[in-house]
Amino acid sequence: MKEIITIKDIARMCNVGVATVSRAINDDPGINEKTKEKVLETVRKYRYVPNTSARNLKMTESNTIALVVCGVGNVFFSSMYDDFQNELEKNGYDFFLDSVDNDVNIPAEAFRLSKEKRLKGIIFLGGWINPESRSLLNVNVPFVFCTVSQAIKGPHAPCPTVGISDIIEAKRMVDYLCDMGHRRIAIIAGVEGDMAVGGGRLIGYKQSLAEHGIEVDERLIFHMKKDIDEFTVENGYAVTEELIASGIEFTAVFCISDLTAMGAYRAIYDAGLKIPEDISVVGFDGIEFGDYMYPRITTMVQPRHEMAVESVRILLDLIAGKEDIPDTVFETELLTRDSVKKIN
């Protein structure tokens, strides 16, 4: 079993007092900046988690677990709420839903909640979190990341994660388009410079083309607009309008979310074109609306129910004191419907 790192160990490694370590973790403005950085670097290196058991004994016991959601209007996330609630209540826990905007400091919000609601644990759903964020050090209850975006390259999250491999699953989708005979494949990717979900799916797109001997045409890579909410119908519509207006030849478009694809559908129809006769379209996520689009969209289905259940299981293990819990990476299901035309 891994040796548990204590606050005294951190203090000894940094040659400072225990009080100084505590002040650094709590971002006390009175502490020397170099000392604070040294302490926080050691805390991150050894993944030290403050022991708050003594503090919690002074508080009224709570049996609540919070689901902190970034992107509450996203139907992909909202379709998972019942799964989280049912699984938590089945295990004897109360469920609390907290939604935050994209520009909110999510860990700081979680820290506030953990104090006000006296939480037992937190599941972060959606959004983007910097694993090196000082605010994460202040979250004094066990937590899990579920489908939370992180940089493709960088430090590992300070907790177990649940999700999919955006690179691998996006590659599988583009593999399907290539197998259907398409060679001029456009992509509606994340905002330019995205190194999380959008960046991963763009890498998968490029890998698939390379393996099929297709040279990447940068003119077919269109990024979501930064002045419109990402992964939305509105963004998909605006970007697809530009793609069509560019006059660049393409036979298929890979939209990296189903909601983005819904906007692409409308832009294609408004241009007097048909799906899949003129342009094949595929999405990603597997939201229920996809079955009611015309034609029904081909997509990659993320296992929402399984991811919710696994996130709860891991969090309960953390609450029980289990350590060294590995990340869980799920596969998606390629759901072929009516939106892709085979090219001979």
Q: Which residue has the tokens 């393409």?
A: 250
What's the CATH architecture for 62-164+304-331?
Answer: 3-Layer(aba) Sandwich (3.40)
Say how many CA atoms lie within 13 Å of 57 toward its Cβ.
3
Supply 248's token pair. 């660049």
Supply 5's token pair. 């790192």
User: Quick check: 131 and 158 in contact, CB under 8 A?
Assistant: yes
Q: What's the pLDDT at 250?
A: 98
Q: What's the pLDDT at 72?
A: 62
Q: Is 98 exposed, middle or buried (CB count within 10 Å of its CB: 0-12, 13-18, 19+)?
A: middle
Contacts of 93 (CB under 8 A, 6+ apart): 63, 64, 65, 120
Q: What's the pLDDT at 29?
A: 62
Q: What is the per-residue pLDDT across 173-199, written as a single tens digit (0 to 9) for each?
A: 999 999 999 999 999 999 998 888 999
Supply 113's token pair. 């909640």
**Could you tell me the residue ranges of all domains in the chain?**
7-45, 62-164+304-331, 166-302
Q: What's the pLDDT at 268?
A: 98
Sheet-wide strand order for 280-282: 221-223, 185-189, 252-255, 280-282
Supply 190's token pair. 């994340």
Q: How many angstroms separate the Cα of 20 from the Cα of each of 16, 50, 92, 268?
A: 6, 14, 38, 60
How many Å apart are CA 80 and CA 125, to the nearest integer? Answer: 10
Supply 27's token pair. 């971002």
166-302 classified as CATH 3.40.50.10470:
no
52, amino acid identity: T
**Strand partners for 161:** 145
Q: Do domains 62-164+304-331 and 166-302 have the same CATH topology?
A: yes
User: Quick check: 236 and 256 in contact, CB under 8 A?
Assistant: no
Q: What's the pLDDT at 53?
A: 46
7-45 classified as CATH 1.10.260.40:
yes
Q: What phi and psi values does residue 301 have, to the nearest 5 degrees?
A: -90, 120
Q: How many angstroms separate the Cα of 45 from the Cα of each of 1, 27, 41?
A: 18, 18, 6
Supply 310's token pair. 């696994």
In order along its 344 residues, the chain shows pLDDT tens digits of 445 678 888 888 888 877 678 778 876 666 788 888 888 888 878 777 765 544 444 445 579 999 999 876 678 888 899 999 999 999 999 999 998 877 777 888 888 888 888 899 999 998 877 777 777 878 889 999 999 877 777 777 889 999 999 999 999 999 999 999 999 999 999 999 888 899 999 999 999 999 999 999 999 999 999 999 889 999 999 999 999 999 999 999 999 999 999 999 999 999 999 999 999 999 999 999 999 999 999 999 999 999 999 999 999 999 999 988 999 999 999 999 999 999 98
Q: Where are the beta strands (DSSP E) in 208-340?
A: 221-223, 252-255, 280-282, 299-301, 328-330, 333-335
